[in-house]
């Protein structure tokens, strides 16, 4: 009998437990498929669609050009594929997001009605969401104790990469292949990293050899290539975090421990979402119930387009549009500006990020926004307002990052690029003036906070 492996956030061949389970269940052929779901495809921005399309091209190569592409609602098309190829089982990596979990329950039910076994093996995380609990069996609400328990729980070694597979390609949907082709040819796409497992492995080797030793300090400097840039690969499961952790286990130094902490944050936010599905788009904590937020306005458009008049904010927003990625420190600065300086509810910014980020992960992105907004777990207190000038001067002290993304300030040397209003020639290249006064908006943010307490 034939078995199906339905790929989702696991677009790889290495360290893939669900693939091994599907291979072992196949008494004959193995069909590897990906479903382009219009509900997700049409809701994503051009950069996200192009990154997925490029990654699927690379995944097809890893599976010897035998990847089957389908278009439509998985509840319909996966059972149809099973019937067409005579499959006895369908294998997946367990999905943990609210949408994915609901979808899989519906697909499993439809397959069961047709006599096809549904098998879930593994998750996109080193430790599956819901498995790390405190002494009373409850979920952790704070990162530090979660990370300690997560390390103590541990994770298995990476799964072996199969050298041969009984692959069979079923007929792909023309609508799916056309959609992917159009996504890669869309105008105005950002410059993206190389796609696929080989590119991910090369990026990782370069990072651990060159940047990991100084990662603890350099990761906060957007003008330095000090981060791993593995998040786009982790997002689509091109590499499993367990693979990275296994490599890090053989290394020493503070950079290693800091990077493991960053992976733990990703797993923590996935765990929070698993236990609190509504936190995807609603405040996790009710501490700011009654907070007065402003509606979207021309100021929000200026934020989206990188013309707020605050250089570090504008550099980050322009990097997002140009690369489909933004440095994490700058993500916090830009998020604080929207929520605290423009007084806009965090989902507005979270949606914009997800539209453009090639690494846009709903758990990490939306809970990261809530951390800044003061509504999430381990929340930065609402009264902690990032000052875009001092943040820029601290983490981009020479102005390298700002000048790279805001060419109107290229003529200002050093940290002068962070305060063009302090220089006679600061605006001579057409850089916009500040749309708000940060000091005044900080006071307004604190006034609104006090009003919620009343």
Full pLDDT tens readout for the chain, 454 residues? 899 999 999 999 999 999 999 999 998 899 999 999 999 998 888 989 999 999 999 999 999 999 999 999 999 999 999 999 999 999 999 999 999 999 999 999 999 999 999 999 999 999 999 999 998 999 999 999 999 999 999 999 999 999 999 999 999 999 999 999 999 999 988 888 999 999 999 999 999 999 999 999 999 999 999 999 999 999 999 999 999 999 999 998 889 999 999 999 999 999 999 999 999 999 999 888 889 999 999 999 999 999 999 999 999 999 999 999 999 999 999 999 999 999 999 999 999 999 999 999 999 999 999 999 999 987 667 678 999 999 999 999 999 999 999 999 999 999 999 999 999 999 999 999 999 999 999 999 999 988 988 6
Encoded tokens for 258: 């800091």
For the whole model, what pTM was predicted?
0.95
Q: Which pairs count as long-range contacts for 102-108, CB under 8 Å and 24+ apart, including other chains?
A: 103/74, 103/75, 106/75, 107/74, 107/75, 107/78, 107/79
SS3 sequence of 67-91? CEEEECCHHHHHHHHHHHHCEEEEE
Q: Considering the domain boundaries, does residue 364 fall inside one?
A: yes
Within this chain, do residues 426 and 336 fall inside the same structural domain, yes or no?
Answer: yes
Within this chain, do residues 441 and 330 fall inside the same structural domain, yes or no?
Answer: yes
Q: Considering the domain boundaries, does residue 315 fall inside one?
A: yes
Within this chain, do residues 344 and 440 fall inside the same structural domain, yes or no?
Answer: yes
61: CATH: 3.40.50.620
Encoded tokens for 202: 């090369």
Within this chain, do residues 145 and 113 fall inside the same structural domain, yes or no?
Answer: no
**Number of domains into which the chain is organized:** 3
Q: Considering the domain boundaries, does residue 61 fall inside one?
A: yes
Indicate the pairing of strand 30-36 with strand 87-92: unpaired
CA angle (445 as vertex; 442, 451 as ends), nearest 5: 145
Within this chain, do residues 312 and 448 fall inside the same structural domain, yes or no?
Answer: yes
Q: Considering the domain boundaries, does residue 187 fall inside one?
A: no
Within this chain, do residues 361 and 439 fall inside the same structural domain, yes or no?
Answer: yes
| Residue entry with tokens 């700011």 | 288
Strand partners, 68: 33
Q: Considering the domain boundaries, does residue 370 fall inside one?
A: yes
Cβ contact 195:51 at 8 Å: yes
DSSP-H helix ranges across 252-291: 254-275
Q: Considering the domain boundaries, does residue 174 fall inside one?
A: no
Cβ contact 114:142 at 8 Å: no
Within this chain, do residues 249 and 393 fall inside the same structural domain, yes or no?
Answer: no
Domain that holds residue 333: 298-453
Question: How many other C-beta atoms can be found within 10 angstroms of the C-beta atom of residue 187?
Answer: 5
Encoded tokens for 181: 């082709």
* Cα 50 from Cα 3, distance rounded (Å): 29
Within this chain, do residues 310 and 352 fall inside the same structural domain, yes or no?
Answer: yes
Cβ contact 418:389 at 8 Å: yes
Within this chain, do residues 86 and 212 fall inside the same structural domain, yes or no?
Answer: no
Q: Is 361 buried (19+), middle (13-18) or exposed (0-12) by CB count in 10 A?
A: buried
400: CATH: 1.10.579.10
Within this chain, do residues 80 and 149 fall inside the same structural domain, yes or no?
Answer: no
Within this chain, do residues 333 and 257 fall inside the same structural domain, yes or no?
Answer: no
* Cα 321 from Cα 356, distance rounded (Å): 7
pLDDT value, residue 380:
64
149: CATH: 1.25.40.80
* Cα 150 from Cα 65, distance rounded (Å): 38
Q: Considering the domain boundaries, does residue 165 fall inside one?
A: no
Within this chain, do residues 220 and 320 fall inside the same structural domain, yes or no?
Answer: no
Cβ contact 334:327 at 8 Å: no
**Radius of gyration of the CA atoms of the chain, in A:** 23
Q: Considering the domain boundaries, does residue 191 fall inside one?
A: no
């Amino acid at each position: 009998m034939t078995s199906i492996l339905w790929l989702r956030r696991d677009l790889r061949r290495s360290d893939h437990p669900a693939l091994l389970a599907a291979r072992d269940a196949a008494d004959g052929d193995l069909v590897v498929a990906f479903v382009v779901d219009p509900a997700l495809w049409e809701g994503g921005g051009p950069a996200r669609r192009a990154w997925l399309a490029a990654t699927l091209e690379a995944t097809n190569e890893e599976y010897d050009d035998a990847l089957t592409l389908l278009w439509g609602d998985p509840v319909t098309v996966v059972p149809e594929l099973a019937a067409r190829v005579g499959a006895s089982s369908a294998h997946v990596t367990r999905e943990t997001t609210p949408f994915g979990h609901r979808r899989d329950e519906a697909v499993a039910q439809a397959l069961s009605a047709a006599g096809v076994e549904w098998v879930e093996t593994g998750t996109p995380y080193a430790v599956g969401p819901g498995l790390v609990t405190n002494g009373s069996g409850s979920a952790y609400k704070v990162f530090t104790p979660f990370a300690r328990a997560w390390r103590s729980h541990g994770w298995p070694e990476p799964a072996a990469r199969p050298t041969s597979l009984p692959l069979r390609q079923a007929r792909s949907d023309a609508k799916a292949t056309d959609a992917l082709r159009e996504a890669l040819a869309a105008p105005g796409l950002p410059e993206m990293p190389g796609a696929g497992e080989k590119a991910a492995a090369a990026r990782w080797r370069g990072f651990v050899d060159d940047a990991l030793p100084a990662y603890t300090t350099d990761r906060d400097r957007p003008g330095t290539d000090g981060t791993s840039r593995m998040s786009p690969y982790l997002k689509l499961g091109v590499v499993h975090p367990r693979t990275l952790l296994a490599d890090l286990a053989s290394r020493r130094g503070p950079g290693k421990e800091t990077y493991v902490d960053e992976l733990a944050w990703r797993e923590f936010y996935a765990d929070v979402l698993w236990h609190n599905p509504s936190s995807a788009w609603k405040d996790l904590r009710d501490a700011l119930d009654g907070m007065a937020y402003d509606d979207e306005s021309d100021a929000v458009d200026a934020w989206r387009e990188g013309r707020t008049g605050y250089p570090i904010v504008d550099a980050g927003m322009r990097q997002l549009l140009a690369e489909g990625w933004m440095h994490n420190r700058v993500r916090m600065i830009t998020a604080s500006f929207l929520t605290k300086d423009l007084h806009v509810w965090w989902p507005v910014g979270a949606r914009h990020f997800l539209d453009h980020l090639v690494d846009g992960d709903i758990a990490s992105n939306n809970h990261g926004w809530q951390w800044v907004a003061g509504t999430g777990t381990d929340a930065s207190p609402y009264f902690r307002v990032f000052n875009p000038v001092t943040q820029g001067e601290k983490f981009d002290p020479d102005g390298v990052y700002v000048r790279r993304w805001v060419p109107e300030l290229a003529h200002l040397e050093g940290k002068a690029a962070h305060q063009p209003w302090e220089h006679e020639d600061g605006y001579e290249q057409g850089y916009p003036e500040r749309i708000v006064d940060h000091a005044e908006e900080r006071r307004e943010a604190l006034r609104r906070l006090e009003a919620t307490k009343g």
